[in-house]
Amino acid sequence: MSNGFNLVALQDLESRLGYAFQNIELLEQALTHRSFGPVHNERLEYLGDAILGMIIAKRLYDLFPKSPEGDLTRMRSTLVRETMLAEIAREYGIGNCLRLGPGELKTGGARRQSLIADAVESIIGAMFIDTHEDYPRVRSVVLSWFKQRLATIHPGEEQKDHKSTLQEHLQGLHHPLPQYRITNISGSDNDQLFEVEVKIEGLPSFSGKGSSRRRAEQEAAGNALTYIKDHPLKPKRK
């Protein structure tokens, strides 16, 4: 095996994903961040992104034959956006299998939303190559990951991001708007990691990390929404 990987861990991941690689080195590459070395997963991510978009687009096209293009586009964007892919990565334990450079390890890269979401796309690209471009087989595996999400998404519903959802929720309860601030920026100029904190009146602060300020703010807002779901806010008087 290549440096930094455990065969049993990779086999366990394959079992969870529902696909066993013929060439295990493709899976290794899909799980390798560019901070680790020159052979990394960015090209596989590029390929996987395109394949994922096609798979989801066609599935929505089949599921909703009467939906207009706008609804289909919004639903596809919801299903393939970073937050959704990160959820899938967490469900399958992909972050625990990533191979990262020292800097990424130190800053918790294995838990960072943008990084683990990218790894999902990389794995899809790796599967496509490993199957010798067997699109139906890759489609079957990928759709199994999205089965529950496809069953619960509906056309005509506005698909909002975490920041918009949080803001509208607070406004509906007549609470002050959330306040975001950057707490730290690390990394090189072309590979920065932003850390952001969001403060909401009456609640603890919530943090988020991302390769841009926007991504970090989205993650922080998502963490706040998760907390609020378990600890509902009471409406304020006007």
Residues acting as catalytic residues: 49, 121
* DSSP SS3 for 212: coil
| Residues 166/170/173/176 CA torsion (nearest 10 deg) | 180
Strands 191-199 and 206-210: antiparallel
Rounded (5°) CA angle 39-52-224: 90
Q: Are 45 and 121 in contact (CB under 8 A)?
A: yes
Beta strands of the chain (E only): which ranges?
A: 179-188, 191-199, 206-210
Q: Which residues of 95-128 are buried (b: 16+ CB within 10 A; e: fewer)?
A: bebbbbbeebeebebbebbbbbbbbbbbbbbbbb
Q: Using CA atoms, how far apart are residues 111 and 84, in angstroms rounded to an integer? A: 14
